[in-house]
Structure formats: C-alpha cells, structure tokens
Amino acid sequence: MAEGSAAFATRAAHAGRTAPARPLSRPLMPPLVQSSVYAFEHLEDLDTLHDDPAATGYSYYRYGSPTHAALEAGVAALEGAEAAVSAASGMAIITAAVLALAGSGEQIVADRHAYGGTYTLLTEELPRLGIRVTLVDATDLDAVERALTPGTKGLLIEALSNPTLRVVDVPALCALGREREVPVLVDATFVSPALLRPLEHGATLSWHSLAKYLGGHSVATGGIASGERWLVEKLREKIIHLGGCLGALDAWLTLLGLPTLPLRMEAHTRTARAVATYLVSHPAVATVYHPDLPGHPGHELVGRLYPHGCGGMLALDLRGGEGAARRFLDSLRLIAFAPSLADVTSTVSYPVATSHYGLPDDVLAALGVGPGMIRFSAGIEDPADVIADLEQALARC
C-alpha cells in the first residue's frame, strides 16, 4: 500500500521512519541513535548478522547500537586497545569482568584498598556466588605474588586508590600477571587515558566509570572497559545476558566529552597541585593525600608513571574529625558537596557517607578512611578562586 493512500493512523505510526536517500555529506559529530530495535528486510539478513563476524548491523538495544559502537571505538583508540565494551555503570563493568573470568570455587586477587562499591562486590556479593576473593595490599609486590596461585583467574587493581591516592606499580604488577598467566584488570578512573594507559604497561583490561573524567560534565552514567579482544567479548556476553547495557544517550553524552579530555586533565592536574600545596601547610589540616607532594609514599613512582601529572584528585584529613568536616562542608560557597568526582567544577565528598558508606568501622580504619577525611576533586577553574573558597571554609574549622 502506498503511504499516501493509507489511513491517517497508519501514516502517523510510520511518519518519519522512511529511510532517506544516501546523502552527500555526513554529520561531523556521531549522531545519537535512540532506537531500541532495528528492522530487517529479510530473515536472511538477521542470519548474516548472527553468523558473519564481518557483518555490520544492529538488532536490539542490549546488543549495542551505532552510538555505543562510536563510543567504544573512540575509547579503544584512546587506550590503544583491540576492542572496548560499554555498560550501564562502572560497577556493571567490573561485575561482568569478574564473572567472565571466574566461577564458583575459583579465585580472584584484588587490592584491599579498592573503592567502596568494588570492596562490597568483592567481600559480599562474589562469596555468595562461591568465588573466592583474596585481598592484598597492591603496593606490596611480594604480597601480591604470594597471593597468586595456579588457579587465580584475575588480579584487580586501581591505578590510584580511592580516596587515599595510593600509587600502585602498574608495570610491575602487569609483568607479574603475565609471568603467572593471570589477567590484570586496572581501574584507571582516577587518571583517565590522558595520563595513564595501562594496556601500554601490559594490562589485559583497563576500565573506567564514564560518569567521571571521560564524560567530565556530570551528565552521563556508565562504564567502559578496553583491552584484549578475547576478554572484551566475554564481558560483552555477560553484559548482554545480565541486562547491564548502557543507555544510548549516556553513550552520546560521553562522546561529547572525549575530545576535550586532554585539555581538561591538564587543567584538573594544575588545580589539584595548587590546592595540595596550599593545604599541606594549613593548620586545620592534619594530612594531605596527593602523590605529587614530595612526602607521599608514591611520589617517586608517580614521577616515572605520570609524566603529565596524576590528575585532579586528592584527599585531606581535618584535625577536628567529624565536627570539623561538617563545619567545612556547610561553609563552602564555590565548591559543591557532591558524592562523585571529575566534574569541570571543583567538588568535595565525605567518603564515610558516600563512596565508602556502610563499610564496617574496622574496614574503614584499615583503609585509612576516617571521620575527618574529605575527598577533593579539582575542577578546571582558576586555582586562586578554589583556594579562596577553601580558605574561608577552613577558617571555620
């Protein structure tokens, strides 16, 4: 039936869905493709999509879309990876990665100084599935080596730990993993590919929360992993099976952030250095955690691994504990109190109530996360304005 002769309800249902003729130009920015399903002219076309690895096309949103593919190709290029896969969150990525590597009765080794959500996954959820988790201090190479056994299925580390900014020797840990034939998975969220590309140091997989530096503007949620194709495709299968797919809009919004990543990371790093230098001599501050400071345990390693700086993250312990932290947070004017990081504006969080909320007191103590700790995420503002806001807030502590 010709579209013009159809009933109005039929024309309305099909309005705008006719494929346009091949254009003479293309969008400069990859378009947002929001469709959740794709149509086929013939059943044979779907068969080809399923059976031919070289075939291009899409079928259903859980299996990806052109927007997902554009993001994954972009991040894979930044990381120097064979492939990449996206998911609904950073936690969805690491969950899929662990389940792709290990099953009941098998072992994962991980850094005990992991982000709170990762720590909960490792200590509560994975044991329920029968997966044995051995926690180690990833800055202690001997301890990591002792923990690895012939049956270890993966080693999980953070390039810089959240929130205490411990620096792990990524090349040495990756070499150890290769020697023991254990895949090494690196959470590089705190540094982004602009400052560290773990795959270049021998990692099997590098992963990020898209809500942080890759997106950069606190509008997109998701996670992405890049690395060796065999493992990336195993992750993709798990994400499809578990339904942890990334929304197309989140993928597209992250694409908007990628081109400015190197410029933003340079500015984040500049602001963080200035703030850390200011805070280290402030009488209200007991400790500053920032690897660029000469007294930091990872300072020498940072000099080798991060020639362009180590990003915009730092943490501080206030001398007055929780009371001082509450007064500090209530007094900020320019800097927002927000339970995330890596926005273009400077923000702070309170780890015991945000990233590490719900962890037992003894675990928090072992991780070095106390009631006076503030995590600071440097934005791209002029450092003088950020320091001025910190100055007036700290005066009330």
pLDDT at 9: 85
CA atoms within 13 A on the CB side of 113: 20
Is 160 in contact with 311 (CB distance < 8 Å)? yes
Residues in the chain: 397
Taking the CA atoms of 319, 324, 326 and 331 in sequence, report the sign of the dihedral they define.
negative
- DSSP letter string, 195-264: H--GGGGT-SEEEEETTTTTT-SS----EEEEE-HHHHHHHHHHHHHHT-PPPHHHHHHHHHHGGGHHHH
Q: Write the pLDDT tens digit of every residue in 309-353.
A: 999 999 999 999 999 999 999 999 999 999 999 999 999 999 999
Helical pair 248-257 and 66-79, crossing angle rounded to 10 deg: 40
Looking at the annotation, which residues are catalytic? 62, 115, 187, 212
Q: Collapsing DSSP states into helix, strand and coil, what is residue 105?
A: coil
Q: Write the pLDDT tens digit of every residue in 219-246.
A: 999 999 999 999 999 999 999 999 999 9
Q: Write the pLDDT tens digit of every residue in 253-271.
A: 999 999 999 999 999 999 9
Average pLDDT over residues 128-132: 97
Q: Write the pLDDT tens digit of every residue in 135-194.
A: 999 999 999 999 999 999 999 999 999 999 999 999 999 999 999 999 999 999 999 999
Q: In whole angstroms, what is the distance from residue 206 CA to residue 204 CA? A: 7
Q: Write the pLDDT tens digit of every residue in 209-226.
A: 999 999 999 999 999 999
Q: In whole angstroms, what is the distance from residue 154 CA to residue 136 CA? A: 13
pLDDT at 4: 63
Q: CA-CA distances (angstroms) from residue 51 to 4, 20, 44, 46, 239?
A: 38, 28, 10, 9, 20
**pLDDT beyond 80 at 304:** yes
Q: What are the chain's domains?
A: 43-260 (3.40.640.10), 261-394 (3.90.1150.10)
Q: What's this model's pTM, rounded to 2 decimal places?
A: 0.94
Q: Collapsing DSSP states into helix, strand and coil, what is residue 138?
A: coil
Interstrand relation of 313-318 and 132-136 (parallel, antiparallel or unpaired): unpaired
